[in-house]
Amino acid sequence: AQTVTQSQPEMSVQEAETVTLSCTYDTSESDYYLFWYKQPPSRQMILVIRQEAYKQQNATENRFSVNFQKAAKSFSLKISDSQLGDAAMYFCAYGDYKLSFGAGTTVTVRA
């Protein structure tokens, strides 16, 4: 059963602007990991960012940052200063040695 929900099938952003992708998950575990993966048209799955649930500090990787709300089981991804190369499908995933993936959000970047 799908335990990860990405409520936005598609998002569009102007180049250089900011876009936020939402993700919620369902778990009774206290220790787990969260990931955002990017899938460009090449089909390759690329890790964007990871977050350990036991860490309160939100992860950041260059222009990508997350807002992790453990009590709300929410894990959103913010892409700042959007670039044309950010256009892709983005998947949220949760778990540990096994991951559950959301259905994905397609991000288009307008020049």
Partner 1 sequence: NAGVTQTPKFQVLKTGQSMTLQCAQDMNHNSMYWYRQDPGMGLRLIYYSASEGTTDKGEVPNGYNVSRLNKREFSLRLESAAPSQTSVYFCASTPKNYYEQYFGPGTRLTVT
Q: With CB under 8 A as the contact rule, which of the stretches 12-20, 61-69, 72-80, 94-102 interacts with partner 1?
A: 94-102
Nearer to partner 1, 6 or 82 (CB): 6
- Residues ≥6 apart with Cβ < 8 Å to 17: 81, 82
List 18, 26, 96, 110, residue binding partner 1 (CB under 8 A): 96
3-state secondary structure the chain: CCCEECCCCEEEEECCCCEEECCEECCCCCCCEEEEEEECCCCCCEEEEEEECCCCCCCEECCEEEEEECCCCEEEEEECCCCHHHCEEEEEEEECCCEEECCCEEEEEEC
Least CB distance to partner 1 at residue 103 (A): 5
Binding mask 31-60 for partner 1 (x = CB under 8 A): --x-x-x----xxxx-x--x----------
Q: Does 99 bind partner 1 (CB under 8 A)?
A: yes
Binding site residues, partner 1, CB under 8 A: 1-2, 4, 6, 9, 33, 35, 37, 42-45, 47, 50, 91, 93, 95-104
